[in-house]
Structure 1
Amino acid sequence: MEQILDAAEELFSKHGLHGVTLKDVAQRVGAHHTLLNYYFEDKKALFDAVFARRAVVTSQRRMRVLEAYDTECQGRPTVEGALRAFLDTDLDLYIEGGEGWKNYAALGAQVANTPEWGAALMDEHFDPVVLRLIDLLKRALPGCAEADIFWGYHFVTGALMLTLARTGRIDKLSGGVCRSDDFGAVKDRMASFMAAGFLSVCARKEQAT
């Protein structure tokens, strides 16, 4: 089963849900396609199983770190501290987890940008941990409008998904100075960059009032 999920994950990450058949996956693992039909009702069921396998790992891991951070900061979270608990914990999986996790990263970027059915998968697997982050951000920014905090998360997750997609565009734009697969470089910068954005928007709104 792990071989089937690994093979499907790699294929889906490169070709998407509609670019892969059950026969493709069966051929990759050297099995007859009837074996996949025995375990999975259809291709979407296989895709959902592939996505869920690692989603539960990253979601639970981030939730544990967010909870630990909330305890350590004694109820006084900072924006960057909350973002680092959420972002750095996830990025560490892609830095340390090998090619399988990188394939999942690309798959996750696809799912997040497919409103027809991907949004439901994201809701199912990630809403609790996202709302835990939002709670910390609200407490770190007590004077900030709720809408600004949610928009801030929207921008954070957009940048994260583009990073996980590893499109190679930044490699070309920067002439090789930056690499889209350098998750370590992203980890060094993203939380600080996004925290500054939250603080700037909220400070601007407070000055306006």
Structure 2
Amino acid sequence: MENRGIFQAIQQQRKQQWSPNTIPYTKLSDQEILIVGTGQIGQKLAQALTFFGVSPIGINTSGHEVAGFDKTFALSDLHACAKTADCVINILPLTEETTHLYDAAFFAQMKPSASFYNVGRGPSVDTTALAKALEKKQLAFAALDVFEEEPLPENDPLWLIENLLITPHISGHTPHFQKAFMAIFLTNLQQFLAKQELEKNEINLDKGY
């Protein structure tokens, strides 16, 4: 919607305006898309983006290579990568290291034309810093599905920021979730009873994800 100017089209519709020349259009294949978090969700996203001709760049803890990503960098390179990225998408789990990872110093590195998306964990983003960065046009657009406080209070200033899209923690919603969940659970249960192991989605308690 951001790349095709749909938000501007909605505003024009409300005003009954026909102004095609004022609606921007950007090709995804011309953009550098940085996916922070190269786990299962990040890999699925990278795979989907290749359909649009995108060569996604990934960031993970160590910078190890991951299938589906054109390049991968370590988390310590986040600020350097943000300087050239057109889209930054956070899918990281929440740990001590990732809490307020996206702060004022990070947003100061972004291009004024860039956008930021958080579908990971709310506390990864210092939302006060993001709000200030959006208001100062340090970046062009942001979309948040998760927040430091949920539900987002009715009087929160985030609601009033024009270049911010807010969704109520729904990015992970999928049809038939219970059926899919039970399939994973039953597979893991059988594996655990037989070998005391989990076949899918095992968490490393030391890492926190």
Identify the TM-score tier after normalising by the shorter chain. under 0.3
Return the structure number with greater helix share.
1
Return the structure number with greater strand share.
2
What is the TM-score when the length of structure 2 is the normalising length? 0.25
What is the TM-score when the length of structure 1 is the normalising length? 0.25
